[in-house]
Amino acid sequence: MSQQSQISLNLQLFDAATQPVSAELVLASSKGKTNETSSELPLPPIWLKRFAWWFRIGLGLFLLISSLLGLTGCSVGAGGVPWQQAAALVPEPVLEQVIAQNSTLSGKAVGQLVQSMQGWKVNGSEGKLVVLNFNTPDLCGALGCLYSGVWLRKNQPATQVFSVYLDPNLPNGQALFKASDLPQQNQALPCLEVVQLDKTQQQLVRQTHLCFNGQQYQTVDGVLLKNANSTSTKSPSPISSKSRYSRNSSTVR
């Protein structure tokens, strides 16, 4: 064998011997880096894991309860009245007719309003009265926000018995609507007590009684009372008023 062939053979043997060693060294080096990186990231303590677990459970329960209350619960807002979802008290076609009678809304806006409207039910000797809170800034203005009363009876068409603008912003402890304890003379629906802040004397509230006359609600008496949150000592004064408090009654078909 020539000297040149011997040198070439030795180089090939050298390459074959060194290549696997290089691969093993690279692999070992990679493993060493991985182990080194893992050792630099310690596991979180057990108390932190438990805290995160309980936090996720608590957040899930909170979201579940909030959604259930939003769908089915009562809410005391808008003047301290225990409002409920109106669609749970009044058939949706009736609500759509009431919206049409009291606004110019149409299309999808009507359907959206039906779902957001609120209602308060009062039982009477003949059916029930549902006071409707439209619950939208579209039906609020300088005089307040729109509220309507609907008379519901079995086997009879629903009838709107009042529609009025009121300011729902009242002092603490005052309810915008509540059933009145005034004596009734065989009326189908109970009298209502309505409270408003007096526009000229903010230290007074105007308490008005509305009673059903067989067709619609009208004012029977009223009085100015001292606002419990006011420091004024001015005595209450009566309101001499027999004026109608609502529009003409209308049948909702």
Block means of pLDDT (10 residues each) for the chain, length 253 residues?
52 49 43 51 73 76 53 48 96 97 94 97 96 95 95 96 94 90 83 91 87 94 72 44 46 56
pLDDT value of residue 106: 93
pLDDT value of residue 51: 77
Give the residue from 153, 222, 239, 225 showing the smallest Cα distance to 189.
153
Give the residue from 145, 122, 117, 144 showing the smallest Cα distance to 132.
117
pLDDT value of residue 229: 59
pLDDT value of residue 57: 81
| Count of residues in the chain | 253
pLDDT value of residue 184: 73
Give 179's strand partners.
Answer: 192
Q: How far apart are CA 153 and CA 214, in angstroms?
A: 13
Q: How far apart are CA 47 and CA 31, in angstroms?
A: 31
Give the residue from 250, 30, 56, 222 showing the smallest Cα distance to 150.
250
